Chains A and B, each alone.
Chain A
Amino acid sequence: MPALFFPRRYPPLLRVAALILLSLAVAAFSEKHPGLENWSGNLAYPVHWIDMQVADNWRALHQYLQDRNELLLQNKRLREKIKVMQPQLLENEILHNENRQLLALLDSFPRPPGEMATTQVIAENFSPGSQLITVNLGSINGVKVGQPVLAAGGVAGQVIHVAQRSAQIALISDLDSSIPAQLADTNMPLLVNGTGHINILSVPFQSRNTALKVGDHLVTSGLGGRFPPGLQIGTIADVVHNGDEPFAQISVRPSVSLGQLNTVLILLKNPPPVQHGKS
């Protein structure tokens, strides 16, 4: 094996120490220049490309191997679901029309839906604390850092790094994630933080006599302008009032099953906020 950079004549301890210092320098440098980190994501693309091929084939094989009974059961389940959903859809349409009328009364126009891009999950990195996924769209598809990511059920996360053909997404369960939220039926501003564990989110800074209770639905509030308002985040699963703690501990179950994401939507263009009145 060739001894790159550090010739063998230096003692091992010195070489190890030099490499540790180099690591710290690399980390500090990439922190200062996020562009470098986005660029270096391209180096990882060959690995992610193979990931994508393997995952695709695995999914195809899984579908192929599903036996007849399972498919029949699934079919039955989906039929039942349609029976429940159809009246809801009708109700939805009525509400939608009513909403348009009300918005017209307020002299504002219904929001156009933002521009979305469908993308496939090609790699995952789930460790305690960080929950990252990589998708197969990048800067050449118009993906930018900070764009919200949706999945079936609601909000999934947001874009944190963008390479040319891939982008990395921090899920809402990531320890660094925090999104402005509100209760589905009130305007009370809240935050929903990730806990580092998939399928558990938390609501910080709520006093012990908080009005929040188990079963409440949380949606995005749209404050800050990063996430459009009204998207499902999750349902409150547990409220603990611990005697010694200054705040109530509130855990939230995300409405998206974050562990089983195959396809996600990236919101490329955030719709402009609703303008009330004439501007």
Chain B
Amino acid sequence: MTTVAMLIAFFLALVLETIPSGPVYGMVHPDFVAMLLIYWSLRSGSELSYTLVWLIGLLQDLVMGDVPGGQAIAGVLMIYALMNGLGKVRHLSVWEQLIFIFVLLLLHRLIVWLWQLWSGSVSWHFSLLLSPLIGALLWPLFTGLLDTLRHHLKTSS
């Protein structure tokens, strides 16, 4: 049941990524899909399937219209870093997690940027740092909302 809910959440995150709301939003909005990936792998007890992470990334590439593969690689590497290098994040408080979330989102963003650099054209812009920062600042709200939702789903089913 929660898996279905998470897949719906990914769908909504993709909608939020592409909603037409001007260039400023486009440049600075946090990567909701990446945040959801982190949330899911922190909350699910076992390791998240890398293949599923990869498929979600690939779908994101298709939706955004980039050369397919960039978001997929970034997602897989980010979850790998979370699982191995930064595995202790789960035991920290929400506020202490912020810095880790920032690092992870920045890693994700930079991998996507490098991919675009390799596969086409891209230019450097400060918003590349701003988007992970906003994502990290929204993290407590984001997890709070999803935790409440998950709690409701569990008690109702």
Contacts and interface: CB of A to CB of B under 8 A. Distances in A.
A106 interface: no
Interface stretch (B69-77, B100-108, B132-140): B69-77
B85 interface: no
Given A3-B49, A44-B63, A19 B72 contact: yes
Contacts, number: 161
Contacts of A54: 15, 19
Interface of B: 3, 11, 14-15, 18-27, 44, 46-52, 54-55, 58-59, 62-70, 72-73, 76-77, 80, 83-84, 116, 119-125, 127-128
A44 B60 CA distance: 8
25 contacts: A12-B80, A15-B50, A16-B50, A16-B77, A16-B80, A23-B69, A23-B70, A23-B73, A26-B69, A27-B69, A27-B119, A37-B68, A41-B65, A121-B20, A128-B27, A128-B128, A129-B120, A129-B122, A129-B123, A132-B64, A133-B20, A197-B123, A258-B23, A259-B22, A262-B20
B62 A43 contact: yes
A19 B15 CA distance: 25
A184 interface: no
- Interface of chain B: mostly helix, strand, loop or mixed: helix
A1 B21 contact: no
A176 interface: yes
Contact of A125 (B49, B66, B70, B123): B66
Contacts of B125: 128, 196-197
A79 B135 CA distance: 44
Contacts of B19: 51, 54-55, 123-124
